[in-house]
Amino acid sequence: MSETHSSVIIIDYGAQYTQLIARRVREAGVYSEIIPCTAPIETVKAAKPSALILSGGPDDVGEKGAFTLDIGLLDLGVPVLGICYGMQLLAHYLGGELSQGTDREYGRADLTLTAECPLWKGLALDTPHVAWMSHGNHVKKVPVGFHAVARTQTLPIAAMANEEKKIYAVQFHPEVHHTDCGTSILHNFLFVVAGLEPDWSMASFVTSCIEESREKVGEAKVVLALSGGVDSTVVAALLHRAIGEKLHCVFVDHGLLHKNEGAEVRAMLEKHLPGLNLHYVQAQDLFLDRLAGVEDPEQKRKIIGATFIEVFEREAKALKDVTFLGQGTVYPDIIESITPKGNVIKSHHNVGGLPEKMKLKLIEPVRDLFKDEVRKVAAELHLPEELIWRQPFPGPGLAVRILGDVTREKVTVLQEADAIVTQEMRASGWYRKVWQSFAVLLPLRTVGVMGDARTYENVIALRVVDSVDAMTADWTTLPYDLLGTISRRIINEVKGVNRVVYDVSSKPPSTIEWE
């Protein structure tokens, strides 16, 4: 990220909405970055913040083990906005008083703005607004130099302000869409209070990313595992513009892709990235032979992951003088790698274990971007719509959508059924309305009747979900006629299937994928 941009640093106290705060700031055209509250203040200083936002969090301020506020953050000379737990921290550490809430507020609340405040510019005072609350503790007495500027029916101090020091705090969550004035409040903090410029755009990112990548790589070579998904393809497009033929992309066809996907990815790349060094590896037999007889889903994932590394490493070693490994790591991968308490949630490396094993330097051009921003970059690069809006697809491919052991025959059945699902979802306009839509081959057979004859064949389950980030998901209420069309086509056109069922489970307690 270029240092010429304004930068809002969000101090994360473990809130469920921290990523959402960062997204809202970026949507306003200002670059944002999340730093755990456990990081030393030098880390925050090094980020050169133009403003700070203190997130919410699940702790009770002042209790043993609760996250604390480094007062040095308030001496950086930049505006500060505390949200929920952030407001309580400011009150507690600046000499105010907290009270354990006897009237707790969770969910929607009527918010009244009671005093003039830069955060309320353009908003009506003494008129109820809808705000989203989630708190037990609350501020009972504001610190010296602050005054209350909002209330709810049960909360006398729902926001407080110190205009002289440009420190503001709200007990509600302006980042969620349930708070009807939330966008205005965040914009007022960014542009009225902090006086920032909306200078973060995908066009500016593309320009700076290409320049920085060219400078970083120099005359070296980069090898990139290219899956055909939007993240890795955007990385390929950016690096191709930056370093040209010094980029080598390896596409491994493990035989568990969508129907005809290997050929379609090659054609797409040849059309939209002409001159790209693409090493297409057909390893279908190797993967399927190693999966023979394996039913446990975790074992399937491990076999596919290890085999992919083996194949990719072999191809990469055949290239001379490769210095960098390109990866399609995105910002949520970075954030979710470490919680504020330092606990690893998941590894963010797209090719697990590969960087360490191959001793290559990493280059991750889109590591600062959210998924929707990666799609915007794809549009800036004039990549095709079908790529930009391609639904997420698991790394192990169809192996985790075939319950039980994986065979060539089962892969063919699922590919045919899955192709019909995609065709009909696209034709109906529903493909871009949902997060994912796919077919699952179940490890059971049922009795049916076809042409007056008894059949005993496979069952396909349809899984269609709505989500924002895949952390939670609801099953989609597709029109009955669309469900009927998909079911009818699968049963009529896919040999070996005589029944189609629809999955009406949400996440949690279920997961999106079946394995």
Q: Residue-wise over 264-284: b if at least 16 C-beta within 10 A, else e?
A: ebeebbeebbeebbbbbbebb
Alpha helix ranges (H) inside 28-130? 41-46, 85-93
296, 345, 349 from 310: Cα distances, Å:
21, 26, 16
- In whole angstroms, what is the distance from residue 263 CA to residue 6 CA? 43
DSSP-assigned beta bridge partners for residue 214: none
Helix (H, G, I), strand (E, B) or coil at 354: helix
Q: Which two tokens stand for residue 503?
A: 């999955």
Q: What angle do CA 228, 427, 202 make, to 5 degrees?
A: 45
State how far the Cα of 231 lies from the Cα of 492, in Å rounded to an integer: 36
- What token pair was written down for 409? 């025959």
CA distance 202 to 152: 39
> How far is 56 from 171, CA to CA, in rounded Å?
9
Is there a contact between 112 and 151 (Cβ–Cβ < 8 Å)? yes
Give 212-229 as a DSSP string.
HHHHHHTT-EEEEE--SS
Identify the bridge partners of residue 445 per DSSP, sorted by sequence position.
Answer: 458
Quickly list DSSP for 85-108: HHHHHHHHHTT-EEE--SS-EEEE
φ/ψ (deg, to 5) at 398: -70, -10
Amino acid at position 452, single letter: D
Q: Alpha-carbon distance 502 to 484, whole Å?
A: 11
φ and ψ at residue 466, rounded to 5 degrees: -105, 135
Contact criterion met (CB below 8 Å) for 14 and 176:
no
Active site residue 173: yes
Catalytic residue among 33, 105, 175, 373: 175
In degrees rounded to 5, what are phi and psi of residue 178?
-65, -25
Residue of 5, 138, 173, 248 marked catalytic: 173
Please tell me which residue in 5, 33, 37, 84 is annotated as part of the active site: 84
Residue 69 main-chain phi, psi, to 5 deg: -105, 125
Three-class DSSP category at 53:
strand
Say whether 5 is catalytic: no
* In contact, 78 and 72? CB cutoff 8 Å: no
Closest CA to 491 of 431, 442, 452, 449: 449
Contacting residues for 449 by C-beta, under 8 A, at least 6 apart? 455
The enclosing H or E element of 481 equals: helix 480-493
- DSSP-assigned beta bridge partners for residue 362: 325
Catalytic residue annotation: 84, 173, 175
